[in-house]
Amino acid sequence: MQKEELALFFLKGIGIRTANAILEHFGSATKFFEAGTQKCLDAGLRESLVQDLEKRKEQALERAEIEMQKAMQNGIRIIGREDESYPAALHCCSDAPLVLFCRGELPTRDRKGLAVVGTRKASTYGKNQTRLAVEGLKACPAFIVSGLAIGIDTQAHQSSIEAGLPTIAVLAHGLETVYPEENRYLADNILQNGGALVSEMPLHTRITAGLFPRRNRIIAGMAEACLIAEASMKGGAMHTAYAADSYQRALFAVPGRNDSYYYEGCNYLIKTGKARLFQHAEDIREEMGWKNLRPQTISAQEPLTGRSCEEKEIENRILALLRSESPASAEYLLQQLDLPLPGLLACLLRMELAGLVRSCPGNYYEPA
């Protein structure tokens, strides 16, 4: 990745949404760091942000250089938004992290993600439902995302390893350590089985309560679907559920007894229609269209074969839209095509791999 991408993350006074607006306007972090004060004002940045901007840019670049060296020494990759290995589903979120710190290997883009979260005080029933959900996807090109917490998260990661599925643990702190300590062995096992540990936070970031909601949005954003296996009305699992709902992800919840405190959240999500009732892994496979999927890699030089007439029609409509308005955002395409987000993302990915379209900064697309 370019040093400027990481420096934008460290630039004082710039939040994620402002940074995304900067990338959309300038086209790249490098062009922003090369731009003078007037060009930054022309881009819409407030005068208060532009004051001492050149000095803050220098400081951010220095910090980025140090962080890249530390990451290399610790065997950690830093993945920028324009990196090919940056998760495609997460890239479409308006508050997607500018960079991801990664240890291990992220799944290939032909795999579909299921986020599985729940309470730390998991019941036997909740753990069993988690295991059955994950095991039921082992014939699919899927991967599992969770947060490495005790309880449901632990069960989700363990079941993924047992089923032979890649699993990603998203952490709320620097990757030079593992929290909770009792899951250090599980973290090592995830890496040994082809999974990854991921964080938005740079090395040596202390664990604080305020970082967990930021972690939870990444869990929701990395996956096309989310399963709440057991949750009360309060806590990180419900934060993840609300984030998944805001990203228009498919949301599933395991139903529980009416008098169970740790199923109040799940039952509420089902009652209000935010989540589909989960009974079997078949529910997820059918709803998401994963039933007959198999992992595959499509070369950019290969034609897209084996597509249905409906898929070809959607691709032609996308190309027509991009020819009339290019580049066009994923949000614009969603509005024009009236498609579910997972279906649009899958189609755009197929077209990008086939060399039909090209992704641009800011989650925009144009004809290749």
Q: Is 96 exposed, middle or buried (0-12, 13-18, 19+ CB in 10 A)?
A: buried
Rounded to whole angstroms, how far apart are CA atoms 124 and 50? 55
Would you kindly state where each structural domain of the chain is located, as residue ranges? 3-72, 102-288, 309-367
Question: Which stretches in the chain have pLDDT values below 50?
Answer: 294-305
Give the count of beta carbons closer than 10 Å to the beta carbon of residue 160. 29
Rounded to whole angstroms, how far apart are CA atoms 114 and 36? 43
CB 365 within 8 A of CB 334: no
pTM equals 0.76
Task: Report residue 196: phi and psi, to 5°.
Answer: -150, 150
Residue type, 302: E
Residue type, 332: Y
Strand partners, 114: 144, 225
CB 239 within 8 A of CB 127: no
Task: Report residue 121: phi and psi, to 5°.
Answer: -95, 60
At residue 309, the pLDDT reads: 67
At residue 213, the pLDDT reads: 92
**309-367 has CATH 3.40.50.10260 classification:** no
At residue 313, the pLDDT reads: 78
CATH architecture of 102-288: 3-Layer(aba) Sandwich (3.40)
